[in-house]
Amino acid sequence: MGSLGAVLRHPDDLYPLLKLKMASRQAEKQIPPEPHWAFCYSMLHKVSRSFALVIQQLGTDLRNAVCIFYLVLRALDTVEDDTSIPTDVKVPILIAFHRHVYDREWHFSCGTKEYKVLMDQFHHVSTAFLELGKGYQDAIEDITKRMGAGMAKFICKEVELIDDYDEYCYYVAGLVGLGLSKLFYASGTEDLAPDSLSNSMGLFLQKTNIIRDYLEDINEIPKCRMFWPREIWSKYVNKLEDLKYVENSDKAAQCLNDMVTNALMHVEDCLKYMSALRDHAIFRFCAIPQIMAIGTLALCYNNIEVFRGVVKMRRGLTAKVIDRTNNMTDVYLAFYDFSNILKPKINKNDPNAKKTLSRVEAIQKACMDSGVLNKRKSYIIQSELRCSSTMIVIVFIILAIIFSYLSST
């Protein structure tokens, strides 16, 4: 529920954190009784708790389709990520994965922890997949086939150029955006979004993850797999791993800023995509991760800690985003506020300062042109609250009551 220190520094985080905790418990109680569906939703909670929470708000048929879509692609990703699998074994599995979803007996042991469980018991996912409507099945099969082929291509290919980077991100994330748009359309609740906008929705999230996960990926055992394009990082260091060394901190920050600037190019497309959504549950499902992404980039920009540890939004702010994202007004406000956090961090001596500033100002203009920025107070940018001793005591008492209640139930 977030560290106690963070709650004391931001006592207004407490209520959203409580709502998030209770909603998470409620979602866990809604797991279907059928063994295969129980496995799928239980696994969803284990591999992505926040995603599992947002998905629960979708209608039943669409929720089941998105759940299976996510688990199929998570399984495909587990095969790709497992660097212990020989290439001559991995590539055929990736290419044929779209056929395995129709096979109730197929499984392949790889990955670790909950991902190994997913792969060992993949027959539950296949069984659930076969109960989906044909429109959902066709969309999932198509995207899985294209993604598997793309992943196989990049097993044997380095990300050299920015074009390679965009192509890789298209295969592993842009196609997710296209697939979700197809599922929304198949549900009858949304029009089919243009592929270019769906692609940008995926690329913005994927590029954010690639930036944030630098240290985890570079230190992966038995060997690392990195997707920062050589065309960018070679301007600053001789080897990609050099970015994590203290003596290269200045160059590392410049390279990081270059990567963030590249990711920001997708924001305007994302805003267009979200503004066209009609269904409230689908809107929240799409908007919350996008706000988390712009918030993460605002924290990562010019932040050398990306090369030292984990940089992410505090749990309380995440809870606020989940609680308070309900319409495009909320989205425009959040994107405007997070771009305001990033903007003062732009150093005029940075090689990409002009380009970064131009992209941030374009985002802010898109938000301002919406005409909604003056309709609501920000919950993201606010003066730090000074916690009096009375406030601290009150927070401690509330927390004690909450934990006592949760322990008893």
Whether residue 307 lies in the annotated active site = no
Q: What are phi and psi of 56, to 5 degrees?
A: -65, -20
- Cα 320 to its chain centre, rounded Å, is 16
Tell me how far apart the alpha carbons of residues 15 and 394 are, in angstroms, rounded to a whole number.
13
Q: How far is CA 244 from CA 160, 233, 237, 251, 403, in A?
A: 20, 12, 11, 10, 40
- For the record, the structure tokens of 125 come out as 């996912």
Kindly provide the b/e burial profile for residues 127-153, where b requires at least 16 CB atoms within 10 angstroms of the residue's own CB.
Answer: bbbeebeebbbebbbebbbbbbebbbe
Tell me how far apart the alpha carbons of residues 306 and 190 are, in angstroms, rounded to a whole number.
38
Q: Pick the catalytic residue: 63, 74, 212, 284?
A: 212
- Cα 207 to its chain centre, rounded Å, is 10
Q: Pick the catalytic residue: 39, 108, 115, 168?
A: 168
Q: Pick the catalytic residue: 225, 278, 308, 376?
A: 225
Smallest Cα–Cα separation from 171: which of 185, 157, 190, 183?
Answer: 157
Whether residue 63 lies in the annotated active site = no
Q: Is 371 left (phi over 0), alpha (psi -120 to 50) or beta?
A: left
Biggest alpha carbon–alpha carbon distance for the chain:
64
Whether residue 314 lies in the annotated active site = no
Let me know how many helices (H) and strands (E) the chain has, helices first: 21, 0
Per this entry, what is the length of the chain? 409
H-type alpha helices, 30-161: 35-47, 49-55, 60-81, 87-100, 113-120, 122-129, 134-155
CA-atom Rg of the chain in angstroms: 22
Tell me how far apart the alpha carbons of residues 173 and 177 are, in angstroms, rounded to a whole number.
7
CB distance 300 to 210 below 8 Å: no
Q: Pick the catalytic residue: 285, 332, 336, 338?
A: 285
Active-site annotation, residues: 168, 212, 225, 285
